[in-house]
A and B are shown apart, each in its own frame.
Chain A
Amino acid sequence: MAPVAPRSGDAIFANIERVNAELFTLTYGAIVRQLLTDLEEVEEVNKQLDQMGYNIGIRLIDEFLAKSNVSRCVDFRETADVIAKVGFKMFLGVTASVTNWDAEGTCCSIVLEDNPLVDFVELPDNYQGLYYCNILSGVIRGALDMVSMKAEVTWLRDALRGDDVFELQVKLLKQVPEEYPYKDDE
Chain B
Amino acid sequence: MATTACFIIVSRNDIPIYEAEVGVAAKREDAAQLHQFILHAALDVVQDLAWTTSAMYLKSVDRFNELVVSVYVTAGHILYFIHTRLMLLHDSRNDDGIKSFFQEVHELYIKTLLNPLYLPGSRITSSHFDTKVRALARKYL
Residues of A bordering B, CB below 8 Å: 26, 28-30, 32-33, 36, 119-125, 127
Contact = CB atoms under 8 A, between A and B. Distances in A.
B52 interface: no
Contact of B111 (A26, A32, A120, A123): A120
Contact of A29 (B112, B116, B126): B116
Contacts of B125: 124-125
Nearest to B112: A122
7 contacts: A26-B114, A29-B117, A120-B114, A121-B117, A122-B118, A123-B117, A125-B125
Interface residues of B, number: 10
A32 B117 CA distance: 8
A114 to B, nearest CB: 18
Contact of B126 (A28, A36, A124, A127): A124
Interface string B115-134: 11110000001101000000
Which 10 pairs, one residue from A and one from B, show the smallest C-beta to C-beta distance? A29-B116, A120-B114, A33-B116, A120-B115, A122-B115, A122-B126, A121-B115, A124-B117, A32-B116, A127-B117
Contacts of A120: 111, 114-116
A32 B111 CA distance: 18
A26 B113 CA distance: 11
Nearest to A33: B116
A123 to B, nearest CB: 7
A122 B128 contact: yes
Nearest to A123: B117
Nearest to B129: A122
A26 B114 CA distance: 8
B109 to A, nearest CB: 12
Contacts of A123: 117
Contacts of B111: 120
A28 B118 CA distance: 14
Nearest to B122: A124
Contacts of A122: 112, 115, 117-118, 126, 128
A121 B118 CA distance: 9
B83 to A, nearest CB: 21
Most buried by A among B111, B114, B126: B114
B117 A33 contact: yes
A11 to B, nearest CB: 32
Contacts of A127: 117
B25 to A, nearest CB: 31
